[in-house]
Amino acid sequence: MNRKGQFSGFILIGLILVSAVGIGIYVYSKNQVATIIPEISQPATKSQTAETPATFIVASCIQQLSQEGLELIRIQGGYISNPGRRRLMEIEDQKEHVDYSGGLPRLASGPGTSMVAFLLTDSNIPMLLRQEEMERQLGSFIDTLLPGCVNEFSSLEDQGVAVRSLAIPKTTITFADQVIIDTKWPLEGTKGEDTWRSEDYTHHIQVNMPTLIENANVLVVTELLFTYIEKKVKMAISLYSYQGGEKAADDLPPFSFTYVDVSCISTYWTIPEVQDTLGDLLVSEMPLMKLEQGYVWPEMTDDLARGVYQNHEIGVLAEDPNIDTAMTYRKEWGFNEMRIKPSDGSLIAPDTHSVFGIPLLPMMCRDKYRFKYTLKFPVLFYVSSLPSARISAPNVVQGNGFDFRFLMEAYLDGNQEREFHPGVELPSIDEAGLAGAGEIDDVDEQFDSRFCDEARSGQVSIVARDLATLQPLEDAMIYYFCGTESNDCRLGKTDIDGRLDVQLPYCINGVLHGWVAGYGDVREMLSIENTDPHAAELLFSPLKDLNLEIIAIDIPSLIRADYLTDGFSHATCGIDAASMLNSVRTALREDDLVLGQLQLKYGRTPSPVFHYPPIDTAFPRTIKMIPGTYSGSMLFQHMMVLNPSTNPATSETVDLERDDPSRPVSVPLGTTETTFSLDYDQIRDAESIIFYVLKDALPTDVMDFASHRALQEDGSLKMQVTADKDCDGIPESVEWSIPKESYISLLEPTLR
């Protein structure tokens, strides 16, 4: 290279260095603004006006404050400054925490504590997340701290630059598939005779807050309705309950267990002991709970291990590869309340009965372990949007997951899952997502969102009518739902003509939801896409009182009849298939009992519990039904007399030396679960509903229960059958099986 070329190269390098110095980025750190020569790109915040040293300072501050504010919302469970309605709990964090010493919460690095919000407590009033409130708080946080962040642009004074604010900053936050920060702050700067102005700034953070908010709210409402936390806690307690013999270190007092032995050494616990053991159990069990459907478990060759782990899949949230969830409990949190009854102070002991006078046995004891747990403890939830950015100040890592967290309080009340308070109607969930059902006086603010204030339609005329008579219904409560909870609102009640006139905001596939006493819920889709008038008619199905009947199906007889007719497909020995089926259906005897419950899949109609035959006025002789899909569970019990045992080898009778050694007891002989659907025409024309329950009584000459058991692990029924299928007088013995899908159809209720 000649000297002229070298000189040109030096000039070019010099120009590049001078330009780099001229466009240095101003970033905010702690309480001062420092100027640096950029070896990294400029801040993602963009000024909509001329780029100057002052605009770089503002852009850097907006970027830093928006990240900090979003982290505060993430860490604290949906807020920056607590509005005062939510209960909070202090949680220890290691990497970063919230500093409350300066009044306005600020993010601080290193270990410390943060106050995290409960979205549901033992009050059963859901404090659902509000998107507009979170947007407002983040904007206010930026506006409050932005003037102090730029530090009056003091770092520019040495360069002869003076900057003057023409108005206070105003930031608008929009949560969409990313967080959009729009800030308006009019500034005027001068340097010598040069003057410039700037005003508009925009910054984006790749975090999908609406998805996180919606999934968090679904978890809260589903817990309120279906108590999945308490169900799993009870399952874990049952799994680790004392089962007799010597007490293990991790044994817990059982819900119900009777132990008979001759040592008469009972097992005891203390409250601190149970608290310690149960705390360890919750620490290990909670992280295993998987809340989303379709969770991919690790490959396992052990079927038992696979079954145990898959049992931890709760399936509250729809399958979504972009969402991950977790539940945790820390032992240092302890219990907000723990009581176990019966107990004597801190001592938990069984109810012990001693029996004397049995030949060859000096004494025999029966310990009844029947304990009721009342527990209240916090559970920390994490909902992660995997494609979203992870904020690790001062950096934002794209696509590394944003973990939003919040608390719920688990609540067992005497083994009952989350005691409900009278007079508070609960929200419900439909297939489209969150919905509200019922008049929730204590949580009106959760449903009166400002969404419906943005009315843009013409008049929407809603009419509520009785489906049977088409007469108008007064006082029908009407709601409108459009996607997430922040877009849900109560419209009001219908007048004496069954009419309610409102205006609604734009919404695609919105849902009208109506409820009125004495009727089933109604849901109708209503889209508002223009300013035209709309009309909607809600037809309410009246609750129908149906007489209750229950018929038992004897399992051995069912298997035998199925074998003889090849699944009730043909006659056998002159008896048609229908008659054979009727022969296995028998009316309940006076000493037979069935306890059952029905659950309507959607809606808020009370779930009836029935006892058949009715024994008192506490149990209905009729059942109130409406059209819909139901799941039912029925337990069949038979009163039997247990006579004194006889030893066939010695002909010695064991007598308990009581006046009446033969005592009737109720013995469970089968549980039946069924799912069925009823439409309006079926219910309208019916007077009675007949349920079918399976029973399986062990013959008195069969002592090997395991070999006699008909119900198999795959749900099929299988037994050894001896019958004359060929009608030639020669019975044959075969093993016969009925697939689950075949006999389930025989259990569907019938109407007449």
Taking only the tens place, the pLDDT of each residue in 237-296 is 988 999 888 899 999 999 988 888 777 788 999 999 999 999 999 999 888 887 766 555
Residues 300, 296: Cα–Cα separation, whole Å: 11
pLDDT-derived band at 427 (thresholds 50, 70, 90) equals very low
CB-CB contact of 510 with 523 (8 Å): no
User: What per-residue confidence (pLDDT) applies to 201?
Assistant: 92
Domain with CATH 2.60.40.2190 in the chain: 428-540
- Least-confidence region, from 140-149, 651-660, 721-730: 651-660
- Least-confidence region, from 342-346, 415-419, 424-428: 424-428
Task: Determine whether 188 is exposed, middle or buried from the number of CB atoms within 10 Å of its CB (0-12, 13-18, 19+).
Answer: middle
User: What per-residue confidence (pLDDT) applies to 25?
Assistant: 32
pLDDT-derived band at 2 (thresholds 50, 70, 90) equals very low
Mean pLDDT calculated for residue range 401-410? 92
Residues 742, 288: Cα–Cα separation, whole Å: 35
Cis check for the bond before 533: say yes or no (omega within 30 of 0). no
Residue 617 pLDDT > 60, yes or no? no
Residues 487, 507: Cα–Cα separation, whole Å: 9
For strands 256-261 and 717-723, give the pairing.
unpaired
What distances in angstroms separate CA 326 from CA 292, 311, 405, 407, 589, one per listed residue? Answer: 9, 15, 9, 12, 50
CB-CB contact of 540 with 522 (8 Å): yes
For strands 652-653 and 646-647, give the pairing.
antiparallel
For strands 290-292 and 313-317, give the pairing.
parallel
The CATH architecture that domain 428-540 belongs to is Sandwich (2.60)
User: What per-residue confidence (pLDDT) applies to 667?
Assistant: 60
pLDDT digits (tens, 9 = 90+) for 148-191: 998 888 888 888 888 888 999 999 999 999 999 999 999 988 88
The structure's pTM equals 0.53
pLDDT digits (tens, 9 = 90+) for 353-373: 765 555 555 567 788 899 999
Radius of gyration of the chain (CA): 35
Cis check for the bond before 644: say yes or no (omega within 30 of 0). no
Residue 76 pLDDT > 90, yes or no? yes
Residue 340 pLDDT > 80, yes or no? yes
Residue 591 pLDDT > 80, yes or no? no
Q: Please provide the DSSP assignment of 219-252 as one string.
A: HHHHHHHH-HHHHHHHHHHHHTB--SSSPPTT-B
CB-CB contact of 188 with 164 (8 Å): yes
SS3 percent helix, strand, coil of the chain, rounded to 5, is 25, 40, 35
Q: Taking the CA atoms of 335, 340, 343 and 349 in sequence, report the sign of the dihedral they define.
A: negative
pLDDT-derived band at 656 (thresholds 50, 70, 90) equals very low
User: What per-residue confidence (pLDDT) applies to 545?
Assistant: 87
User: What per-residue confidence (pLDDT) applies to 485?
Assistant: 53
Q: Taking the CA atoms of 418, 378, 399 and 65 in sequence, report the sign of the dihedral they define.
A: positive
Residues 728, 730: Cα–Cα separation, whole Å: 5
